[in-house]
Structure 1
Amino acid sequence: MSTGVVDAELIGELTGIVGAAHVLHDPEMTAGYSIDWTRRFAGATPLVIRPGDTAETAAVMSSLAAARVPVVPQGGNTGLVGGSVPLAGEAVLSMRRLDGCEPVDELASQVTLGAGVTLADAQAHVAASGLSVGVDLAARDSATMGGMVATNAGGINVLRYGAMRAQVVGIEAVLADGTVVSHLAGLEKDNTGYDLGGLLAGSEGTLGIITRVRLRLHPTQPERATALLAFETAADAVSAAAALRRSVAALHALEAVFEGAMALVSRHLGVTPPVGSLGKKSGAAPSDDAATGGAWLIAEAAARTDPSDELGAAVEELADLVVDAAVALDPAARQRLWAFRENVTEAISAAGIPHKLDVTLPAARLAEFVDGVPDVVRAADPDAQPLLFGHLGDGNVHVNVLGPDGAEPSDAVDSAVLRYVAELGGSISAEHGIGTAKLSQLHLNRTEAELAAFGAIKRALDPAGLLNPNVLLP
């Protein structure tokens, strides 16, 4: 099937499975499924199918497999590496209608959710039971459970609960030929063979289409204390982050925003940070230059009882490192501090179309990377502007790069930054995945033997190569 050409017999068969309203082939109707959130990755699809449950998904895949139609599974389409859009004319299988939430199993602290349930809806569904989902991220209103598992999403609470793979205790999926595999009992101890949930987590839709997931839940920690800390250098921020991880048992999040990104988000919000950096106290505006060295940390503690004394004591012990600090306890004040982190991505997108390089560094090389990467970027593209922020508690830095006037920078930037990451012993993808954006650099982190093993697994589960055929595997 090529772009723009749809087989009438196949459409009739799919319509019989999911209904005419859920088989889209008018270009005006399919356009929204063909471009990602960043606006950087755009393609076209001749066909969008929206199944309503696992049985319909299986029947659809059986029909598509028989017709040898390649498929891109899509959830909330919040991915950032081009892995969820049809860049080569594939059909799109939208999972958003699989939005059922089963009753919370309070005895096991688990819940089973449809692949199309958004993170925000999942959070609201389990909250009444005094439980919470372990992963949280800014795209909570649109990111879906299936997509989050398929990309092994991370977010702001990884240092406490781990990424999405650590939350999965059961999974149901449809393979490329329409076969259903289902293992949803959620037993904490279950040594009966391969962990299919662990395998599908992070597979980016290349091995199977997730239809339901069973998640491990965590006790809600209702009492929060949040601090915004300013530092002269990235090295000071990294040292402080390590100290906070050792001293604050209730540490829930540890987020960083570096100088250039803080300047941009401050302008976007129309406010200045309540704490300064580079030896400047509150009210001083950050610099646009990412290489000037200033850093801000948002440290949040969460517990059953008020953690403010614990966090406050830990901050006081950082006196030699911290230039300035603000602590917030009530929700409104805490949200004002979090705004400087949660709106960074929005501010960057408003400024242009960035190249997003999501990487992880060993703790010992993290400050070196933050200080060195602006020079690496500018050596590849002298007019490019690097904007850095991320999850300092787990070594994850988001390197966003804008060209002049918000245009895309040179593609040479991507290769240069990712090579630099690998030279420092880091990972070229922390939580966004490989998608299509990093296909040519996967060898920087994976050996030939590993890539061969990946290929063998792919061929075993998808011998015709129909599932997301241009993603993850080179």
Structure 2
Amino acid sequence: MRSPDPEDSDSRRVDPGPTPPAGIDDALTALRQIVGETNVLTDPDAMAGFLTDWTGRYRGAADAVVRPRTTDEVSRVVAECARSGVRICVQGGNTGLVGGSVPPARDGSTNALIVLSTVRMTDIGDVDTVGRCVGAQAGATVGAIDDRAGRSGLAFGIDLASRASATAGGVVSTNAGGTRMIRRGNARSQILGIEAVLADGSVLRRWTSLVKDNVGYDLPSLLAGSEGTLAVITRVLFTLVAPPAVATVAVAAVERVENAVELLGAASSAGLTVEAAELMTEAGVALVADHGHRRPTTAPGPFYVLVELSGTGDIESATTELLGATDGVIDAVLEPAPARALWAGREGHTEAIARSSSTPVVKLDISVPIRALPEAFAELSRVGVDDRFPCRPILFGHIGDGNIHVNLLDVPPEHATEVTESVFGIVTANGGSISAEHGIGRAKVAWTHLGRDATDLATMRTIKAALDPRGLLNPGVLFG
């Protein structure tokens, strides 16, 4: 017997019918009847925030912004767009950094395009404390989901600096990992069920709290990381976790990247659980300090490692002992978790970087094998220094999973492609990936061949063609 579902009526298949495509005016009239007059935006000023991404690098154009409230409304909106041949850009919190959350610029296509925003889809269900899970609409923020879990003594396993605006649908669509990935895994590993609207308006629902349910293809996992190109995610059933009873946060100034890697290995060998592990550089810490955050340690160092540790016994003493036994530690500070002030120094990087660059920041989210982190950091730190044009590299990231956020400030716009290729060349030479958790979006389409061979890309295109044969969902994202 399947779990009861409050929106079972949405599971019916919607047939867009054989009606010939209508003009955009007819389509907008139909969409207003579905979601209400005030939720179809066509005024340029009202639409502006939906057409520009967080970085300011990507701007697009749309005929309207449509804001449905329920899965049923999404289903009817998508069915109407399928009938009318209107393309759809799916948007959550618009915190993406690769241009995937905004529509393309005018490209000469005769097809109309709308932004389908999940901004009104913020419902979060009751927490199942026995099954440790909770259902949330696609527009619910990461922070709101964690708050709901916290009222029941549980926690959401995904955490991001953008927790107040990043949404459930967004983190699943990009398969984000965030700061807790080393302990909890990425978004895909925390999905029990999913509800999504396919390109013809029909509703796909896998919604069960069973941890073992092997019937055919794992469609929720397929949609995770698909960046809105296969379906519009409307609800997600997430697993929840029990937070550690006691944890300690330490920030240590260290001489080398190797010291930070060794610290994590030593922590695990000592029986401690690494809840989070972040790496920062002196350039980044100094920049954040210039914008009002305190320096984490009295003595500076070339690098800083932030580690949150849990376990049994006296965690603070065990962490102090661990730091004392690790080579290359210059200075360190410890605070009981959640240690918001220490975390603020790490989470303040993104805003400080954005405010400090004279041009839109070139933000490249990459990963390399952990063994290659020292060499990769060294090479990436020289981008813009050794090249024929100057720019300022600021690196930070999730050291426990090899994820480096490469931020290049003051890059002349005409050299953005060139500097991107330089970074990706370093990543490829070190056996890494050009996309760790932000997705491909529009920004990295030209370089997907660096991470996927021809057969792999052809297989993905076959899946896209099967689920969205007319290419109406997120045109230009992932495949170009």
- TM-score higher than 0.5: yes
1:135 aligned to 2:166? no
Match of 2:170 in 1: 147
Choose from 31, 40, 48 the match for 1:23.
Answer: 40
* 1:58-457 to 2 correspondences below 5 Å: 58-89=75-106, 90-269=113-292, 271-278=294-301, 294-302=302-310, 307-318=315-326, 320-329=327-336, 334-352=339-357, 353-403=360-410, 410-457=416-463
Alignment check: 8 A CA contact 2:368 2:430 kept: yes
Question: What is the CA distance between 1:154 and its match in structure 2?
Answer: 1.1
Question: What is the CA distance between 1:254 and its match in structure 2?
Answer: 0.6
Question: What is the CA distance between 1:270 and its match in structure 2?
Answer: 5.5
Amino acid at match of 1:355: V
Choose from 4, 23, 26 the match for 1:9.
Answer: 26
CA distance in 1, matches of 2:105, 2:131: 43
CA distance in 2, matches of 1:336, 1:218: 24
**3-state DSSP of counterpart to 1:366:** helix
Question: What is the CA distance between 1:403 and its match in structure 2?
Answer: 1.5
Q: String of CA shifts for 1:100-124, please: whole Å, max 9, x gaps.
A: 1111111111111111111111111
**3-state DSSP of counterpart to 1:91:** strand
- Cα–Cα, structure 1 residues 192 and 211, in superposed 2: closer, same or farther, change >3 Å? same
Alignment check: 8 A CA contact 1:81 1:437 kept: yes
Amino acid at match of 2:335: A
CA distance in 1, matches of 2:300, 2:283: 12
Unaligned runs of 5+ in 2: 1-21, 107-112
- Cα–Cα, structure 1 residues 246 and 92, in superposed 2: closer, same or farther, change >3 Å? farther
Unaligned runs of 5+ in 1: 279-293
Match of 2:470 in 1: 464
Report the count of equivalent residues: 451
TM-score relative to the length of structure 2: 0.90
**3-state DSSP of counterpart to 2:307:** strand
TM-score relative to the length of structure 1: 0.91
Alignment check: 8 A CA contact 1:111 1:214 kept: yes
**3-state DSSP of counterpart to 2:382:** helix
Alignment check: 8 A CA contact 1:231 1:322 kept: yes
**3-state DSSP of counterpart to 2:239:** strand
Alignment check: 8 A CA contact 1:354 1:401 kept: yes
Question: What is the CA distance between 1:269 and its match in structure 2?
Answer: 1.8
CA distance in 1, matches of 2:86, 2:331: 58
Alignment check: 8 A CA contact 1:403 1:409 kept: no
Alignment check: 8 A CA contact 2:90 2:474 kept: yes
Question: What is the CA distance between 1:306 and its match in structure 2?
Answer: 5.7
**3-state DSSP of counterpart to 1:265:** helix
Amino acid at match of 1:127: G
CA distance in 1, matches of 2:311, 2:117: 38
Question: What is the CA distance between 1:364 and its match in structure 2?
Answer: 1.4
Question: What is the CA distance between 1:271 and its match in structure 2?
Answer: 3.8
**3-state DSSP of counterpart to 1:176:** coil
Pairwise CA RMSD: 1.9
**Fraction of identical pairs, as percent:** 42
Alignment check: 8 A CA contact 2:381 2:395 kept: no
